[in-house]
Amino acid sequence: MKRREPINFGWKYKADFREEYLSPAYDDTDFDNVEIPHSNIEIPYNYFDEKIYQFESCYRRKLHIDSLKRDERVYIHFEGIMTYARVFLNGVFLGEHKGGYTGFRIDLTDALNTDGPDILAVYVDSTERSDIPPFGHVVDYLTYGGIYRETALEYCHELHLEHGLIKPDNVLTETPAVDMDLYFRNDSGRAQSGEMEFIITCRGEEFFRTGERLTFTGKKEQKQVCSFQVPVPQLWDIDNPVLYEMETLLTMDGEIRDSRTFRFGFRQVDYRKDGFRLNGKLIKLLGLNRHQSYPYTGYAMPRSAQYDDAEILKYQLGVNTVRLSHYPQSRHFLDRCDELGLLVFDEIPGWQHIGDESWQALSLQNVRDMILTDGNHPSVFIWGVRVNESQDNDDFYRKTNELARKLDATRPTGGVRCIAESSMLEDVFTFNDFSHTGENSGLIPPSRTSGKAKPYLVTEHNGHMYPTKKFDDEAHLFSQAKRHLAVLETMYSREDISGSIGWSMFDYNTHKDFGSGDKICYHGVMDMFRLPKLAASVYASQQDDSPVLEISSSMNIGEREGSLLGDIYIFTNCDYIRMYKNGVLIRDFHPRRDLYPSLPHPPVIIDDFIGDAIEKNESFSSRDALAIKELMLKISREGLDLGIRDKIRMGWLLFKNRMNTKEAEDLYTKYFAGWGGEATTFSFTGYKDGQPVKTVVRDQNSPVSLKLKADRETLHEGETWDCLRCTVHLEDEYANAVRYAHESITLETEGPVGIIGPKVLPLTGGSTGFWVRTAGAAGTGTIRLKSERFGVIKKEIRITKN
Ligand code: GAL
């Protein structure tokens, strides 16, 4: 019987390495007590030496192994150790693993003590070894270090299923089927046979059951394929992601010897020249790239943080696709994508560089591990089998493609490139298109990059073309947003582009060769705390599930170049926006389909702040009032440097209405700049189906207050430690971000919770975030946030524990 026992607590860790640490006799009381996921060092937010995590270290743990029957074995499974590991039990070397993005198992059985506890020691090398992908040249992200993904003991029968790959087939027909590849491990060396039972359930209800007699050779590794017809299932779709479970039971000599449960979905992906189809339905892929990094802990974050990222993509950013740039990521992230109906582009580790033959052999191993580990996730719709943006290497990429197709022909291959016309061995031409400069068309036509009749997907755009900080001025934030908008418009307008995946979901720590000199690449539509920049609303406003109304300006003319407000964009999915100024209706504004004909939801552009107020309040004729308004709007956009026709028009209007320049200026101030008035309040209400669904108010005199929000109220310490994100916002009374606040806050905790990272934080762009983590006990934890100006805010978190 197979049994999994998570072992994420109770580890000892030393941030250096000496051979003697591997000896079971070594006294490790000077080691730190740590828990997995663990980062070999906590790194500062920015401005640090990128070498600080690149060192050798040692982890130790006492294991209490249950007594094993003669035909049982015990393995240890590591889901991710960055970057190289050697595993020892009781001083005996048992195996090594190269590469931090794929898991591995080591058989402990032969080195077990007959009595007393067993001492596990793991040597971890987190240096950037050029023999392991992605290393060998520069890389635009950090890889961090340590045992950063979960670890478990696996008790198995000597003949057991190591991987099971479920491949639903013909799911759109009346005769759907399942092919299942069964990868067995036979440690007995003997030929054996048994009955394999397959039980498929959906939401706890049995859906189908069948069985088959299997015979095994004495070989250590062997593959069997079972195929069976099943009843018509419910399909996994992005709107209704129905999941099934497959339980496999292997009975030998009347006893169940091995059992596994796999989650999967019935769905069909097809990629053709005219686009991507899920279950036969054409879908435009709108996505963002995700790194698996977080501030301070790097990669070492537990399940709930991975879940949260998937939820942010689905619910907050409203996209339907995510690319795991540039390596396979946590199973928890994929699990949540399965549950939410978020499509995933999975790819092998690497960045531009291809190493020598042994490096390439590891890369091929990565293809295999990626597919066997992630292959049951219905969310994964494509395998990326090229090193991101590498040069052509047909011999190597013929092999990666061949292997991917051999292991899983149900999904297409892609290979992310940035070189037009590069050698095309994959099923989909997946191209990083950084051609947009803010002025030109959003994307290059596929005929100019792929030149071939292949399906086409844009896998990156924007990013380094316009780095943007959450605390940049509003003109800069707006330009970033507009660039994403332009790319999306082009993508939606072209039938030969199946979708686009923007660079990137959030900012990330990086090496000295990239980023803004502080070891951060500010390429995200969110910051490292997953707090949105304006560009995030370009994505969010394309969905229909929740109303979005995000205004590109704070409406302060003093923020703008030349004190000119210009056109204000509203990123929204509302049918129209009704605008009031100081309580007076200006007018309704509609999405600008004339400018953005292809977007699901074009932005609304506010280009009139006056409405008919001049006509109503002043004694001009209607015609003159309109002409004066038009001139004012022009000045507000372009400044006073008017062309000759407008100058004449202005002169004529002044003369005709007996106004001097001072009176004209006063008029402009009254209706435009709003100087000297009590207050200028703009209110924008979005309507959907005739109903108001969202209102945003901009009022320059509004008082501000500090808000602390926790993403959840509870933490649960189960198989690992747990965490939740808190965000801090300084807001005005209408909940607008106060973007130039740099207030400092201090955090204190009480009870069984801790703060990840520093406890004194500045707001950046009016907000910040931090993660609260469990500290080993159940109970109630309190977070106290102190600010000199705004006092103390308290938040209670309930912690449960298994
Ligand atoms: C791409 C690369 C990404 C990131 C991005 C920045 O070339 O694939 O990893 O560096 O540029 O825009």
Residue 326 Cα: closest atom of ligand 1: 9
pLDDT band at 710; cut points 50, 70, 90: very high
**What secondary structure, in 3-state letters, does 721-737 show?**
CCEEEEEEEEEECCCCE
Residue 465 Cα: closest atom of ligand 1: 12
Q: How far is CA 711 from CA 16, 319, 643, 757, in A?
A: 36, 20, 54, 18
Region of residue 670 (phi > 0: left; psi between -120 and 50: alpha; otherwise: beta): alpha
Q: If we measure between CA atoms, which residue out of 6, 47, 12, 9 comes closest to residue 32? A: 12
**Is the pLDDT reported for residue 671 higher than 80?**
no
pLDDT of residue 25: 95
Distance from the CA of 463 to the center of ligand 1, in angstroms? 7
Ligand 1: residue of 503, 508, 519 to mutate (most ligand atoms within 8 A of CB) is 503
Distance from the CA of 138 to the center of ligand 1, in angstroms? 12
pLDDT tens, residue by residue, 236-260: 999 999 999 999 999 999 999 999 9
- What average pLDDT does the chain have? 95
Distance from the CA of 502 to the center of ligand 1, in angstroms? 10
pLDDT band at 2; cut points 50, 70, 90: low
CA gyration radius, the chain: 30
Q: Does ligand 1 lie within 6 Å of residue 463's CB atom? A: yes
**Is the pLDDT reported for residue 675 higher than 70?**
no
Cα-Cα-Cα-Cα torsion 307, 312, 313, 319, nearest 10 degrees, comes to 140
Q: Does ligand 1 lie within 6 Å of residue 523's CB atom? A: yes
Q: Does ligand 1 lie within 6 Å of residue 503's CB atom? A: yes
Domain 3-157: CATH architecture, name and number where available:
Sandwich (2.60)
Q: Does ligand 1 lie within 6 Å of residue 461's CB atom? A: no
Adjacent-strand bridge partners of 211: 197
Q: Does ligand 1 lie within 6 Å of residue 140's CB atom? A: yes
Across the range 347-376, mean pLDDT stands at 98
pLDDT of residue 661: 86
Adjacent-strand bridge partners of 764: 767
**Is the pLDDT reported for residue 48 higher than 70?**
yes
* Residue 559: Cβ-neighbour burial (10 angstroms; 0-12, 13-18, 19+): middle
Residue 503 Cα: closest atom of ligand 1: 12
- Secondary-structure breakdown of the chain: helix, strand, coil percentages, each rounded to the nearest 5: 20, 35, 45
Amino acid at 338: D
Q: How far apart are CA 414 and CA 452, in angstroms?
A: 14
Tokens representing 416 are 């992310």
Ligand 1: residue of 432, 468, 505, 525 to mutate (most ligand atoms within 8 A of CB) is 432
**Is the pLDDT reported for residue 1 higher than 70?**
no
Residue 462 Cα: closest atom of ligand 1: 12
**Is the pLDDT reported for residue 343 higher than 70?**
yes
Q: How far apart are CA 351 and CA 327, in angstroms?
A: 10
Domain borders along the chain are 3-157, 159-264, 288-547, 557-699, 704-801
Q: Tell me how crowded residue 7 is: count the other CB atoms within 10 A of its CB.
A: 18
pLDDT band at 131; cut points 50, 70, 90: very high
Distance from the CA of 351 to the center of ligand 1, in angstroms? 9
**Is the pLDDT reported for residue 437 higher than 60?**
yes
Given the candidates 3.40.50.920, 1.10.240.10, 2.60.40.10, 3.90.1150.10, the CATH classification of the domain at 704-801 is: 2.60.40.10
pLDDT of residue 677: 64
Residue 416 Cα: closest atom of ligand 1: 8
Distance from the CA of 800 to the center of ligand 1, in angstroms? 41
Distance from the CA of 466 to the center of ligand 1, in angstroms? 12
Edge-to-edge strand list for the sheet holding 159-169: 159-169, 177-186, 221-229
Is the Cβ–Cβ distance between 349 and 134 less than 8 Å?
Answer: yes
Q: Are strands 221-229 and 205-216 parallel, antiparallel or unpaired?
A: unpaired
* Residue 424: Cβ-neighbour burial (10 angstroms; 0-12, 13-18, 19+): middle
Q: Does ligand 1 lie within 6 Å of residue 389's CB atom? A: yes
Could you tell me which residues come within 8 angstroms of residue 541 by beta carbon, excluding any fewer than 6 positions away?
318, 548, 550, 571, 572, 573, 601, 603
Residue 464 Cα: closest atom of ligand 1: 12
Is the Cβ–Cβ distance between 565 and 553 less than 8 Å?
Answer: yes
Q: What is the DSSP letter of 775?
A: -
Rounded to 5 degrees, φ, ψ at 397 are -75, -20
pLDDT of residue 802: 87
With residue 540 as reference, give the H or E element that holds it. helix 534-540
Is the Cβ–Cβ distance between 50 and 508 less than 8 Å?
Answer: no
Q: Does ligand 1 lie within 6 Å of residue 388's CB atom? A: yes
Coil, strand or helix: which one is 364?
A: helix
Across the range 142-149, mean pLDDT stands at 98
Ligand 1: residue of 137, 139, 140, 289 to mutate (most ligand atoms within 8 A of CB) is 140
Residue 352 Cα: closest atom of ligand 1: 8
Distance from the CA of 472 to the center of ligand 1, in angstroms? 21
Amino acid at 741: A
Q: How far apart are CA 238 and CA 340, in angstroms?
A: 7
Q: Does ligand 1 lie within 6 Å of residue 347's CB atom? A: no
- Same topology between domain 159-264 and domain 288-547: no
Lowest mean pLDDT among 313-317, 739-743, 744-748: 739-743
pLDDT band at 477; cut points 50, 70, 90: very high
Q: Does ligand 1 lie within 6 Å of residue 464's CB atom? A: yes
Distance from the CA of 607 to the center of ligand 1, in angstroms? 36
Identify the CATH homologous superfamily for domain 159-264: Immunoglobulins (2.60.40.10)
Rounded to 5 degrees, φ, ψ at 136 are 135, -20
**Is the pLDDT reported for residue 278 higher than 80?**
yes
Could you tell me which residues come within 8 angstroms of residue 211 by beta carbon, excluding any fewer than 6 positions away?
195, 196, 197, 198
Q: What is the pTM of this model?
A: 0.96
454-481: b (≥16 Cβ within 10 Å) or e: bbbbbbbbbbebbbbbbbbebebbbbbb
Q: Does ligand 1 lie within 6 Å of residue 432's CB atom? A: yes
Distance from the CA of 140 to the center of ligand 1, in angstroms? 7
Amino acid at 66: D
With residue 493 as reference, give the H or E element that holds it. helix 474-493
**Is the pLDDT reported for residue 90 higher than 70?**
yes
Q: If we measure between CA atoms, which residue out of 521, 571, 635, 544 comes closest to residue 50? A: 521
Ligand 1: residue of 388, 464, 487, 507 to mutate (most ligand atoms within 8 A of CB) is 464
Q: Taken in order 534, 536, 538, 541, is the CA torsion positive or negative? A: negative
Q: Taken in order 473, 478, 481, 486, is the CA torsion positive or negative? A: negative
Angle (deg, nearest 10), helices 622-638 and 661-668: 80
pLDDT band at 445; cut points 50, 70, 90: very high
pLDDT band at 715; cut points 50, 70, 90: very high
Distance from the CA of 265 to the center of ligand 1, in angstroms? 32
**Is the pLDDT reported for residue 676 higher than 60?**
no
Q: Does ligand 1 lie within 6 Å of residue 430's CB atom? A: no
Q: Does ligand 1 lie within 6 Å of residue 798's CB atom? A: no
pLDDT of residue 674: 60
Q: If we measure between CA atoms, which residue out of 727, 536, 511 comes closest to residue 46? A: 511
Q: Does ligand 1 lie within 6 Å of residue 711's CB atom? A: no
Q: Does ligand 1 lie within 6 Å of residue 460's CB atom? A: yes
Distance from the CA of 291 to the center of ligand 1, in angstroms? 11
pLDDT of residue 564: 82
pLDDT of residue 673: 60
Angle (deg, nearest 10), helices 622-638 and 644-656: 140
pLDDT of residue 487: 98
Distance from the CA of 389 to the center of ligand 1, in angstroms? 8
Nearest CA to ligand 1 atom 4: 140
Lowest mean pLDDT among 109-118, 439-448, 456-465: 109-118
pLDDT of residue 561: 87
Nearest CA to ligand 1 atom 3: 140
pLDDT tens, residue by residue, 191-243: 999 999 999 999 999 999 999 999 999 999 999 999 999 999 999 999 999 99
With residue 311 as reference, give the H or E element that holds it. helix 303-311
Is the Cβ–Cβ distance between 94 and 111 less than 8 Å?
Answer: yes
Q: How far apart are CA 797 and CA 104, in angstroms?
A: 36
Strand ranges, E, within 440-538: 456-460, 499-502, 508-509, 520-521
Alpha carbon distance, N-terminus to C-terminus of the chain: 23
Proportion of the chain above pLDDT 90, given as a percent: 86
Nearest CA to ligand 1 atom 9: 140
Is the Cβ–Cβ distance between 721 and 35 less than 8 Å?
Answer: yes
Q: Does ligand 1 lie within 6 Å of residue 462's CB atom? A: no
Could you tell me which residues come within 8 angstroms of residue 655 by beta carbon, excluding any fewer than 6 positions away?
none
Adjacent-strand bridge partners of 98: 84
Q: If we measure between CA atoms, which residue out of 672, 692, 734 comes closest to residue 578? A: 692
Across the range 638-644, mean pLDDT stands at 84
Rounded to 5 degrees, φ, ψ at 211 are -150, 165
pLDDT tens, residue by residue, 543-571: 999 999 999 999 988 898 888 888 899 99
Q: Are strands 429-432 and 456-460 parallel, antiparallel or unpaired?
A: parallel
Q: Does ligand 1 lie within 6 Å of residue 522's CB atom? A: no
Q: Does ligand 1 lie within 6 Å of residue 433's CB atom? A: no
Q: How far apart are CA 230 and CA 169, in angstroms?
A: 10
Please list the active-site residues.
Answer: 389, 460
Q: How far apart are CA 678 and CA 674, in angstroms?
A: 9
Coil, strand or helix: which one is 566?
A: coil
**Is the pLDDT reported for residue 461 higher than 90?**
yes
Identify the CATH homologous superfamily for domain 288-547: Glycosidases (3.20.20.80)
Tokens representing 460 are 């990156």
Place of tokens 């009749």: 453
